[in-house]
Structure 1
């Protein structure tokens, strides 16, 4: 179906998958990094590089005034790019608030070189197969493009070395390299961070121990689930850790990011001095042939997955991982677990606890919470509950100044934070929020000073932990 040197345009409401050659140039799209003090209407021209993950489409789920509706896609021919275009088509065709994207797609074998040569935009979005992700980032940055990349930006220590070089080049060229950290926009996480900044309620963050960390985060994900109302179809390479990355360097990226973001907000972290990894481990999730077929639509395992096939034709994937480490002397533990499918009525879940000298801040998302994240404030043992309640209610105005309508109600072990429904906008909406924040930075021409060193600290933690987990066999 796909032809070399092929280009296709997706205008508004129609998707054509029959690609034809096009030599037209758009000189208006030839600039690279924006240095304007603010991004004006249509000044951001997106390029999507090799989309293979649904996150690539989610950044386009809504229109933004700064973004030109024409998006140039460069990718190898195949099912990944087709699936991406189908999602964009669905956004364009939805009955409520349809988008108006016009996708111009190039699928020649020299797609990466073509992207660099044509310079059709100023922001490159990457979300897909991670085997070449760091190489893509480095190439795009060296060519002068701003880059918004899905996690992970590095899946091993070799990639981390390349990533450091990419950040150095970005600094030299005054362009912005940034990753998509959607979990910073989850309201219970945001409020956990806010309450931890109230010494009269939280006290001070404990230091903890390796056996009893001061902060623990656990994320449970599922291979089969629904995205934008439809069953997800995952590419076979998603189950190959050399292409997707192990769980300990993939989803764990979010957890490590949140530990840094919540424990030491807006503080620079130096991975050479501030991080000590105590232990790391990884383990497999197994899928049956029928489960693999349901989530990929494939009737057999491709050759590159054969190494992971175990007895009874079960496929073992190193999707799970745990890191026990210290950040500026604070003990933290993060873990990611992948199951095949969630229980009825459930989805991906998150657990988090921050331990303060006066109270613990706990996010739970289990059956008792109807699988919706809830934040609890649990006073330390021996606390005078009446005095604590007075401090809590006196301090609540500081939270309400930024989050009007947030309240607390007492329950058996403390207080539950009641959050108005308007703040629960869902995981998919967070991609648009990340994009909006990133475009603000592009318009300003800079990231906050702590973001780059903390991204490096994050990927040092995950890739070093992977190295340790594999060495621990």
Structure 2
């Protein structure tokens, strides 16, 4: 059928109006509109590796122009164009030195994602919450003790403004850790948590990370400032955030921690990872050390980064130790590793992730000396575990039992960002966080920032 010009024009106008109306309708259904603030870390992109129901596909990005921003946009574009399950994000970008003020004034969304340079993050959190935005922040929210009170005030402000401030704790979604927590709550299997000693803690968590890293199929380009502890934060306040969080989350599940009463530091230490200029070039694509790093460069052009740390402390009288180590590059075929033990009166729950486990986290249950009923207790408890984790099983090995985890549960670290984001959106829909989350975030950052202070005095 051929339309006359006037009729064709009317038809096209009607079609355009209908499309615009459809787009408005889709947007109006979205309860949440994301804003990304200065995405200097690849974690900002990982939040958008999936689409979410009720979240607008248009994301407003505010950042200074530069390589950090471009790397972020390239990753989003990669998710949008991947052959399997592509996303359909639309990035609306503002570039400029006044990016933060523009974001606050523009009010183009209601959820601000922060994952980047940590030097000003605590200030950004405080001002963003005060302006009435919800904030989903990558760890760490604070990197020094001098800003701890500012973070505390931000949680108080968030409650007054009826917005939610939350950090991205991906490790709670790692299946071996989830199962370690689940088995620790089976009293006939685990017993009760030992008190431990400084030399033999009840809970130990150790992680090894690498500067040279493969993410989403390519070698990660790290910003030069990632190696500056004044901007990224020392290792003892960075990755240890996850480990301290897991100690609280596993030992005292869904219980509020009072940092003033429940936490006592025993000792803390920090040490450097040394990096040559050629190694620095490989991960940053920069030919020289920037001026702000020269304070950390020693003879023969070796950059010394305080990326390693260890904390010994007591949590409600339970002795715990957490430590993080950064090597430059993993051995061939290896990757980041995690070791964790929870010592119970009847059994120990141990996660190992070394060569013997093909660098995949594996949970073991080992009997405490004198406990001859563990096998029967495990078989009795397994149906309870399987109610929450169908398909999980155990198998006898020389040292005890290995927990057999179906492949469907073995998501990669990148997928956990979507899990955290979805949980956060669920909290936003409910209008509140669980009662224990805020005091436990405060307790966590008190532990890490005070440990840094102690470690500096000990050096």
- 1:156-210, Cα deviation, whole Å (9 max, x unpaired): 0122111011111001111100000000000000000000000000000000011
Per the alignment, residue 279 of structure 1 pairs with: 267
User: Hey, what does 2:380 align to over in structure 1?
Assistant: 394
Aligned to 2:15: none
Structure 2: gaps (5+ residues): 1-23
Partner of 2:143: 155
Match of 2:345 in 1: 357
Residue 137 of structure 1 aligns to a residue in which SS? helix
Deviates more, 1:188-197 or 1:90-99: 90-99
The aligned counterpart of 1:410 is 396
User: Partner of 2:165 in structure 1?
Assistant: 177
CA-to-partner distance for each residue in 1:389-434, whole Å, 9 max, x for gaps?
Answer: 1111111000000000000000111000000000001100000000
- Note the 1:62-77 alignment, pairs <5 A: 62-77=50-65
The reply to whether residue 311 of structure 1 matches residue 299 of structure 2 is yes
C-alpha separation in 1, matches of 2:47 and 2:425: 12
Residue 61 of structure 1: SS of its match in structure 2? coil
Q: CA deviation at 1:330?
A: 0.3
How far off its partner does 1:41 sit?
4.7
List aligned pairs for 1:318-337, cutoff 5 A: 318-337=306-325
Structure having the higher Rg: 2
Deviation at 1:136, TM superposition (A): 0.7
Residue equivalent to 2:177: 189
The question of 1:214 aligning with 2:195 is answered no
- The alignment partner of 2:30 has SS state of coil
Aligned residue among 423, 428, 448 for 2:409: 423
The secondary structure found in structure 2 opposite 1:381 is: coil
CA distance in 2: counterparts of 1:275 and 1:294, whole angstroms: 41
Q: Secondary structure at the match of 2:403?
A: strand
Cα distance in 1 for partners of 2:44, 2:96 equals: 20
- Which residue pairs with 1:266 in the alignment? 254
Return the offset for 1:382.
2.2
Deviation readout 1:125-144 (Å, 9 max, x if unpaired): 00000001001100110000
TM-score, normalised with respect to structure 1 = 0.91
Aligned counterpart, 1:51: 39
Residue 223, structure 1, aligned to residue 211, structure 2: yes
275-284 vs 159-168, which moves further? 159-168
Which residue is equivalent to 1:250?
A: 238
Q: Deviations over 1:410-465 (max 9, x none)?
A: 01110000000000011000000000000000000000000000000000000000
CA RMSD of aligned residues (A): 1.2
| Alpha-carbon distance between aligned partners in 2 of 1:130 and 1:57, rounded to the nearest angstrom | 16
**1:151 Cα deviation after fit:** 0.1
For the residues of structure 2 that align with 1:160 and 1:346, how far apart are their CA atoms?
36
Show structure 1 runs of 4+ deviating over 2 A.
none
Provide the rounded CA distance (Å) in 1 between the counterparts of 2:282 and 2:163.
42
Which of 69, 79, 82 does residue 91 from structure 1 map onto? 79
Deviations 1:2-23 (A, max 9, x none): xxxxxxxxxxxxxxxxxxxxxx
CA distance in 2, matches of 1:364, 1:190: 14
Give 1:388 deviation, angstroms: 1.7
Unaligned runs of 5+ in 1: 1-27, 32-39
Q: Distance between the aligned counterparts of 2:371 and 2:430, measured in 1?
A: 47
Counterparts of 1:260 and 1:161, CA distance in 2? 21
d(CA) in 1 for partners of 2:458, 2:95: 42
Distance 1:308 1:126 in 2: 27
**1:369 aligned onto 2:387:** no
Give the Å deviation of 1:110.
1.3
Equivalent residues of 1:150, 1:180 under 8 A apart: yes
Cα offset for 1:96?
0.8
Q: 2:427 aligns with which of 433, 441, 459?
A: 441
